[in-house]
A and B are shown apart, each in its own frame.
Chain A
Amino acid sequence: MRKSVVFSLFTALNVVLIALVAVHARHSQAAATTARRERAELVRTLQLTDLCLFTEARYTRHPAMADRFAPFQDHPGAMEHFPSGSLVTPPSKRVHEHSP
Chain B
Amino acid sequence: MNTPLNRHSNILDFALSSLLRRKSKNLSLLVVYTLIVFVIASLIFFVQALKREAAQVLKEAPDMVVQRMIAGRHDLIPARYGEQISDIRGVRSVSPRLWGYYYDQAFGANYTLLVPEKQLLEPGSIMIGAGVARNQRIQTGDMLTLKTSSNAALLLTVQGIYPSSSELLSSDLIVLSAEDFQAMFNLPPGQSTDLAVTVANPREQVTVATKIAELFPDTRPILKSEILRTYDSLFEWRGGMMVVILAVAVLSFIIFAWDKATGLSAEERKEIGILKSIGWETSDVLLLKFWEGIVISLTAFLVGVVLAYVHVFFFSAALFEHALKGWSVIYPQFRLVPVIDAYQLTVLFFLTVLPYTAATIIPAWLAATVPPDAAMRS
Contacts and interface: CB of A to CB of B under 8 A. Distances in A.
Most buried by B among A54, A55, A92: A55
A27 B328 CA distance: 33
B140 interface: no
Most buried by A among B9, B17, B217: B9
Most buried by B among A5, A10, A21, A67: A21
Interface string A69-100: 00001000000101111111101101111111
Contacts of A15: 302
Interface string A1-15: 011110100110011
A2 to B, nearest CB: 6
Interface in B305-353: 305-306, 309, 313, 323-324, 326-332, 337-340
Contact of B226 (A51, A82, A92): A92
Contacts of A3: 12-13, 16-17, 20
B67 interface: yes
Contacts of A62: 112
A100 to B, nearest CB: 5
Contacts of B159: none
B240 interface: yes
A interface secondary structure, majority: helix
B326 A54 contact: yes
A95 B209 contact: yes
B69 interface: yes
B72 A55 contact: no
Interface in B200-235: 206, 209-210, 212-213, 217-218, 220-223, 226-227, 229-235
A1 B44 CA distance: 37
Interface in B100-120: 101, 109-110, 112, 114, 116-118, 120
Given A45-B120, A64-B231, A97-B220, 8 more contacts: A28-B337, A39-B57, A39-B168, A51-B57, A61-B101, A61-B110, A87-B235, A92-B232
Interface of A: 2-5, 7, 10-11, 14-15, 17-18, 21-22, 24-25, 28-29, 32, 35-36, 38-56, 58, 61-65, 67, 73, 80, 82-89, 91-92, 94-100
Give the top 9 A-B pairs by smallest Cβ distance, nearest first: A86-B240, A83-B326, A14-B302, A25-B338, A92-B229, A44-B60, A4-B12, A3-B16, A64-B227
23 contacts: A3-B17, A4-B12, A4-B13, A11-B298, A11-B299, A18-B305, A28-B338, A29-B337, A39-B165, A42-B57, A49-B62, A52-B169, A54-B324, A55-B331, A56-B110, A65-B74, A84-B324, A87-B234, A87-B324, A89-B233, A89-B239, A94-B223, A100-B218
Interface of B: 9-10, 12-13, 16-17, 20, 50, 53-54, 56-62, 65, 67, 69-70, 72-74, 95, 97, 101, 109-110, 112, 114, 116-118, 120, 129, 131, 162-163, 165-173, 175, 194, 196, 206, 209-210, 212-213, 217-218, 220-223, 226-227, 229-236, 238-242, 295, 298-299, 302-303, 305-306, 309, 313, 323-324, 326-332, 337-340
